[in-house]
Chain A
Amino acid sequence: MSAPGLRRVWGLIYRHLCLYRRSWPRLLELAYWPTLELLIWGFTAQFVIHGQTSMPVKAGGALIGGVLLWEVALRAQMGVTISFLEEIWSRNLGHVFVSPLRPRELIFALLGVSVMRTVIGLAPATAIAFLLYAFNLFALGPALLLFFLNLLLMGWWMSLGVIALLFRYGASAEALAWTLAFGVTPIACVFYPVSVLPVWLRPVAQILPASHIFGGMRSVLYHNAMNWPQLAAAFCLNLIWMVGATLVFAAQFRAARVNGALISIGE
């Protein structure tokens, strides 16, 4: 990317930094849901482990690890779509799209904001998991970075799909920004293996990178062994989904620009 391109990306990231640095409710909101989810599942895991001695202690770790890592995908998806929605809410899209900002620069800026939101949102939950439940997410070792990266990618392609729908259907698609990733959770196999699902639903789960990522996470937690084929499958699936979502995004962006819908998108 050229120096002016990087500066435009920074310009949009700076816009969001300005928004967050003086708004504690926005900062609080980032950490609120991951922390709440962690507390609910953390105490549930403790109850289950202490109530049933046959339950492997590591299963509790898998629950907590699942909560924390799934939040990466959720927060990454929301980080992109909500940052885009901020432009719609402030009726600012017209100015942004009249500027020389390229669509790819817009995407890079939103991804940058998404990384910041995800890290800020997950930091308190990760600390609480260690303090309350003695679960150290970093004990996953280098594998953690690969899981994190794959879940970021998954959150990102979902968000590009949601933004494409916003281009197509306007603000009426806004609810998807909040719900899409949550809706995927049952087939993402965050807390259980794919084999738990009905036979007809398994292929759907298997085309989602999440089912492979969490399979890999359980492999590390239970057997202390990295399941490389699963991780490779997750990475390949993410690439395919990302290319597909980018193409849909680009097509819908072009259509919205030609139809003059970029300015009226929030109405």
Chain B
Amino acid sequence: MARDRFAALARMNYSSPYVALPMRLTVAENLAVYGHLYNVPKLRHRIAELAHEFDLETLLKRRAGALSAGQKTRVALAKALINRPELLLLDEPTASLDPDTADYVRGRLEAYRAESGAAILLASHNMAEVERLCSDVLMMKQGKIVDRGAPDALIARYGRDDLEQVFLAIARAGKAA
């Protein structure tokens, strides 16, 4: 990474609700732009594949700015997978999504990881999501890592019922006094 940053970038991708895709471009145009940027071979075929996978076929000619939040998330995820990344960076992938869409997104991520063997680095405040998707968790507080471990190990270590309670215990540590 330090020696050849750009070779590494070609094998990664990224998605965040805080970074948008050009709103005036259609879904197909957006995917084409990023397909070119990632030098994706057989781009039309790849776009068709992703459109099928993320149920975007009827949205391909629609402008990205005219999509609902759930549709935008699916498009962002399709963009994030366009180059079949070996490392996928996700920032709050299900933020502000309804439970049904959020579950769909988590399902797609699990499926991609299972079929590709890719690593997913996920930043999330949704502990149920973290518990479901992550094998290794870094708990951060004020920008510093304060604990680390598998979800089950963290829950056992703090003597709680779930990761949400672990999160609260860490966040509130020192406040009670």
Contacts and interface: CB of A to CB of B under 8 A. Distances in A.
Interface of A: 4, 7-8, 10-12, 14-15, 18-19, 22-23, 86, 90-96, 98-102, 263
A99 B21 contact: no
A110 B32 CA distance: 18
A125 B23 CA distance: 31
A110 to B, nearest CB: 14
Interface in B3-27: 6-7, 9-10, 12-14, 16, 18-26
Given A11-B37, A14-B29, A263-B18, 12 more contacts: A11-B35, A18-B24, A18-B25, A18-B29, A23-B24, A90-B23, A91-B20, A92-B20, A95-B19, A98-B12, A100-B9, A100-B39
A10 B33 CA distance: 9
Contacts of A11: 32-37
A98 B121 CA distance: 14
Contact of A100 (B10, B29, B35): B10
Q: Which of B14, B18, B39 has the most CB of A within 10 A?
A: B39
A27 to B, nearest CB: 14
Nearest to A101: B37
A12 B34 CA distance: 9
Contacts of A102: 6
A181 B13 CA distance: 37
Contacts of B38: 99-100
A85 B133 CA distance: 37
Given A95-B34, A98-B12, A99-B9, A4 B19 contact: no
Given A18-B25, A90-B22, A90-B23, A99 B16 contact: no
Chain B contact surface mostly: mixed
A23 B38 CA distance: 27
Contact of A14 (B23, B24, B32): B32
A91 B19 CA distance: 6
A100 B37 contact: yes
B25 to A, nearest CB: 5
Interface of B: 6-7, 9-10, 12-14, 16, 18-26, 29, 32-39, 79, 89
Given A10-B36, A11-B36, A99-B38, A92 B22 contact: yes
A98 B7 CA distance: 12
B123 to A, nearest CB: 13
13 contacts: A8-B36, A12-B36, A14-B29, A14-B36, A18-B25, A22-B24, A86-B22, A90-B22, A92-B21, A94-B18, A99-B38, A101-B37, A263-B19
A98 B20 contact: no
Contacts of B7: 100
Contact of A98 (B9, B32, B35): B9
A31 B19 CA distance: 32
Contacts of A8: 36-37, 39
A12 B23 CA distance: 15
A134 B63 CA distance: 44
Nearest to A92: B22
A98 B21 CA distance: 13
B88 to A, nearest CB: 11
A99 B34 contact: yes
Nearest to B79: A95
Contacts of A96: 37
Contacts of B13: 98
Contacts of B18: 91, 94, 263
A229 B155 CA distance: 78
Contact of B37 (A12, A18, A19, A23): A12
A101 B14 CA distance: 14
A117 B48 CA distance: 32
A94 B80 CA distance: 12
B155 to A, nearest CB: 32
